């Protein structure tokens, strides 16, 4: 039951003159065919989204989800060690509770985790290797999707029966072996399997990952039913940061692992079904689902090097009904329920090296040991109204309530930096409106869009407290977003483009500063411009790419301790590059031979909230060649980091010291792919 109902209104502004320039890759802007069942948007709605289709996924052959997602506008996924990562979508790269809860990760349109139990590494779980599409929505999600769709969402759409079968195998010069396959009967079942063994290019960084998925398609009476299951398992040895200013440039140092004992073991499983049927004047869609995951890893990135075990099991149902009320008016309503139970245990086996045991803020023993039961209930409605003269309006409203029931097995009280609160219950209510207008007079569509994103706190935000925190002080994080944009085609269809500008303000921002202290009440501002385009230079030569500019700042003041972590209103947010860009030149040299040259650019950014240290950014070149020498049989060669650039995937400041995750050196992947 919702605890409150607030009337909300918003007025639209007149469309600004839209910028021209580079914009959406052709696969992204022309058609959303791959996502007709599980996609979260359609092409004629206001807002920004991009799609990597099956061809793009196959050609990229991403060993890590960052390699495919970073080709899309406004996205900056940082690779850490092995399959670890941190996400940015119209945001800085976020860590901790903010990194867990600010991005909604979906598989077939269903959240891969219950709202309170996100993980900064959650992109490692969906089976992206055999997906038919990966859709990224930038900015707050629509009324269909609630908590955690704050800065954006990623929807991995599994291949469906009829998409075809294939098998591929590859070897990388950094010691990476991989095989992917999909078996499709063309009617009812498609099975997917991915296996990867990585010996690791840094010391003691081997990894093994397995993923399995199955998607069905059946008619059961009046119902069209699409069931699926997906599972993943990861066992990796992790590498720590390399420390010292510009240490990522030292070719000997970057291959070393200062934390050879570090590891991460994780597994996950999801099952769901989409059941759709006509009912009365419209269509009813029911999507029951369940998911479970567990993880254990060493916290090598913290000074006390603890061990964390976490996991949760949850499930629910998403119910939706839509109908055409008139020629000009379409209506959709829905209700979602999610119930979950999760746990977290953190322990420290040894005293902290370098700290005085008599005054140790990181004491040996159990730091946290708790369970949390959650219940989420949501109601939403959405309408599309054709006003005539090629103008339509989309309006939506979603209300949610989140209930938490927490209990601890660890002793209550403060020990060093750790604060174990007594058993308690908490509840949060969310209300997220959306209002957009789109005008499509011809080959170009123009839009303006307002949306609010909110997230209830993560369980770790609420109950993994530090000594300076008070239980119950963490509030709902809220982001208000306004964007204007234009998308379409020109030059007789040879140019396809998409450009958007946005302004966003966020309140109650919860994050961990570079002194390792939690900040529960920050505020930030985000504004930027994103442009993508694809241009057919000739019948065989295509230039495509995207560029993103952003200005992301803190809008509050904060001083801690000696003032080494001073945040001033107007400071740039750390790990928020001003410029991001990705471009490629694709040449179909002959009917059998295809060549591509690509470039990825990450601009300069501050490494800490106080803006005392910077990372200069980097530009990395890659190339791909493929040759089809038989019917459906292709050999391919991928060269990454052609110039052997010394760069950092991640650079930050922790406890006053610079640290880096070094980027991979020049490497090659050779493989075969067979479609049948």
Domain CATH number, residue 367: 2.40.170.20
**Burial of 642: CB neighbours in 10 Å, binned 0-12, 13-18, 19+:** middle
Secondary structure string (H, E, C) spanning 593-659? EEEEEEEEEECCEECCCCCCCEECCEEEEEEEEEEEEECCEEEEEEEECCCCCCCEEEEEEECCEEE
Report the alpha-carbon distance of residue 484 to residue 437 in Å, rounded: 10
Where residue 276 falls (left for φ over 0; alpha for ψ -120 to 50; beta otherwise) is beta
Strand 152-158 relative to strand 103-107: parallel, antiparallel, unpaired?
parallel
Report the alpha-carbon distance of residue 379 to residue 390 in Å, rounded: 30
Strand order in the sheet with 131-138: 48-53, 131-138, 152-158, 103-107, 110-111
What per-residue confidence (pLDDT) applies to 354? 63
Report the alpha-carbon distance of residue 453 to residue 151 in Å, rounded: 7
Cα within 13 Å of Cα(182), Cβ side: 28
Q: Which residue has the tokens 């498609």?
A: 190
What per-residue confidence (pLDDT) applies to 25? 34
Torsion of CA 517, 519, 525, 530, to 10 degrees: 50
Decide if 305 contacts 290 (C-beta within 8 A): no
What is the distance, to the nearest Å, from the Cα of residue 186 to the centroid of all Cα atoms in its chain? Answer: 31
Decide if 506 contacts 553 (C-beta within 8 A): no
Report the alpha-carbon distance of residue 293 to residue 265 in Å, rounded: 11
Decide if 641 contacts 598 (C-beta within 8 A): no
Is there a domain that residue 20 lies in? no
What per-residue confidence (pLDDT) applies to 97? 85
Long-range contacts of 94-97 (CB under 8 A, 24+ apart): 94/120, 94/151, 94/511, 95/120, 95/511, 95/512, 96/120, 96/460, 96/510, 96/511, 96/512, 96/518, 97/457, 97/458, 97/460, 97/461, 97/510, 97/511
Q: Please tell me what DSSP assigns to residue 238.
A: P
Which pair of structure tokens corresponds to residue 130?
A: 């055999």
Report the alpha-carbon distance of residue 348 to residue 366 in Å, rounded: 6
**Burial of 473: CB neighbours in 10 Å, binned 0-12, 13-18, 19+:** exposed
Long-range contacts of 490-493 (CB under 8 A, 24+ apart): 490/443, 490/444, 491/535
**How big is the CA angle at 395 (ends 38 and 22), to the nearest 5 degrees?**
65
Report the alpha-carbon distance of residue 18 to residue 168 in Å, rounded: 43
Which pair of structure tokens corresponds to residue 524?
A: 């930030």
Is there a domain that residue 312 lies in? yes
What is the distance, to the nearest Å, from the Cα of residue 86 to the centroid of all Cα atoms in its chain? Answer: 8
Looking at the 3D structure of the chain, how many domains does it have?
A: 1
Is there a domain that residue 14 lies in? no
What per-residue confidence (pLDDT) applies to 142? 79
Decide if 359 contacts 339 (C-beta within 8 A): no
First to last CA, the chain: 51
Is there a domain that residue 408 lies in? yes
Residue 132 CB coordination number (10 Å)? 22
Residue 536 CB coordination number (10 Å)? 17
**Burial of 280: CB neighbours in 10 Å, binned 0-12, 13-18, 19+:** exposed
**Burial of 364: CB neighbours in 10 Å, binned 0-12, 13-18, 19+:** middle
Is there a domain that residue 521 lies in? yes
Low-confidence residues in the chain, pLDDT < 70? 1-36, 40-43, 353-359, 514-515, 560-564
Is there a domain that residue 539 lies in? yes
What per-residue confidence (pLDDT) applies to 303? 81
Is there a domain that residue 6 lies in? no
This prediction's pTM:
0.92
Number of residues in the chain = 676
Domain span holding position 108: 26-675
Is there a domain that residue 12 lies in? no
């Amino acid at each position: 039951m919702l605890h409150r109902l607030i009337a909300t209104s918003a007025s639209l502004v007149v469309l600004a003159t839209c910028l021209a320039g580079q914009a959406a890759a052709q696969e992204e802007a022309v058609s959303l065919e791959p996502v007709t069942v599980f996609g979260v948007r359609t092409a004629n709605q206001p807002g920004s989204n991009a799609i990597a289709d099956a061809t793009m996924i196959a050609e990229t052959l991403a060993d890590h989800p960052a390699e495919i997602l970073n080709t899309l506008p406004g996205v900056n996924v940082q690779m850490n060690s092995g399959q670890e990562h941190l996400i940015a979508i119209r945001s800085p790269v976020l860590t901790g509770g903010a990194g867990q809860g600010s991005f909604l990760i979906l598989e077939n349109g269903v959240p891969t985790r219950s709202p309170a139990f996100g993980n900064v590494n959650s992109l490692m779980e969906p089976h992206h290797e055999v997906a038919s599409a990966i859709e990224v929505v930038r900015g707050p999600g629509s009324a269909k999707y609630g908590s955690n769709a704050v800065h954006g969402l990623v929807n991995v759409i599994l291949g469906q029966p009829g998409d075809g079968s294939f098998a591929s195998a590859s070897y990388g010069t950094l010691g990476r072996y991989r095989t992917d396959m999909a078996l499709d009967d063309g009617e009812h079942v498609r099975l997917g399997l991915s296996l990867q063994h990585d010996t690791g290019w840094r010391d003691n960084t081997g990894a093994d990952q397995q993923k399995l998925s199955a998607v069905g398609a059946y008619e059961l009476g009046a119902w069209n039913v699409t069931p699926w299951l997906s599972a993943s398992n990861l066992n990796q040895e992790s590498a720590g940061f390399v420390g010292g200013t510009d240490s990522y440039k030292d070719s000997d140092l970057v291959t070393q692992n200062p934390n050879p004992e570090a590891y991460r073991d994780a597994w996950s499983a999801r099952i769901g079904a989409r059941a759709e049927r006509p009912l009365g004047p419209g269509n009813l869609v029911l999507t029951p689902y369940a998911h479970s995951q567990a993880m254990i890893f060493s916290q090598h990135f913290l000074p006390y090097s603890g061990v964390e075990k976490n996991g949760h099991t949850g499930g629910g149902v998403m119910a939706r009904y839509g109908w055409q009320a008139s020629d000009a008016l379409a209506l959709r309503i829905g209700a979602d329920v999610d119930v979950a139970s999760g746990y977290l245990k953190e322990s420290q086996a040894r005293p902290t090296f370098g700290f005085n045991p008599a005054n140790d803020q990181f004491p040996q023993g159990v730091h946290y040991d708790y369970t949390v039961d959650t219940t989420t209930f949501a109601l939403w409605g959405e309408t599309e109204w054709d006003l005539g003269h090629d103008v339509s309006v989309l309006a939506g409203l979603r209300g949610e309530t989140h209930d938490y029931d927490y209990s601890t097995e660890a002793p209550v009280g403060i020990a060093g930096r750790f604060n174990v609160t007594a058993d308690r219950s908490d509840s949060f209510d969310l209300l997220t409106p959306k209002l957009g207008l789109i005008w499509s007079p011809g080959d170009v569509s123009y839009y303006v869009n307002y949306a609010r994103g909110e997230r209830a706190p993560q369980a770790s935000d609420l109950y993994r407290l530090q000594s300076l925190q008070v239980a119950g002080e963490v509030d709902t994080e809220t982001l208000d977003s306004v964007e204007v944009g234009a998308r379409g085609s020109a030059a007789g269809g040879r140019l396809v483009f998409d450009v958007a500008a946005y302004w966003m303000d966020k309140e109650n921002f919860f994050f961990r500063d570079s002194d390792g202290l939690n900040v529960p009440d920050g505020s930030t501002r985000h504004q930027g411009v994103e442009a993508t385009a694809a241009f057919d230079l000739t019948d065989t030569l295509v230039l495509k790419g995207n560029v993103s500019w952003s200005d992301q700042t803190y809008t509050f003041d904060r001083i801690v301790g000696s003032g080494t972590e001073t945040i001033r209103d107007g400071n740039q947010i750390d790990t928020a590059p001003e410029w991001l860009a990705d471009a490629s030149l694709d040449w179909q040299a002959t009917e059998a031979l295809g060549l591509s040259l690509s470039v990825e650019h990450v601009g300069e950014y501050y490494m800490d909230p106080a803006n005392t240290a910077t990372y200069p950014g980097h530009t990395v070149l890659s190339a791909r060649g493929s040759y089809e020498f038989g019917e459906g049989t292709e050999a391919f060669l991928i060269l990454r980091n052609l110039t052997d650039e010394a760069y950092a995937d991640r650079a930050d400041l922790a406890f006053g010291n610079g640290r880096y995750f070094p980027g991979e050196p020049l490497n090659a992947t050779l493989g075969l792919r067979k479609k049948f």
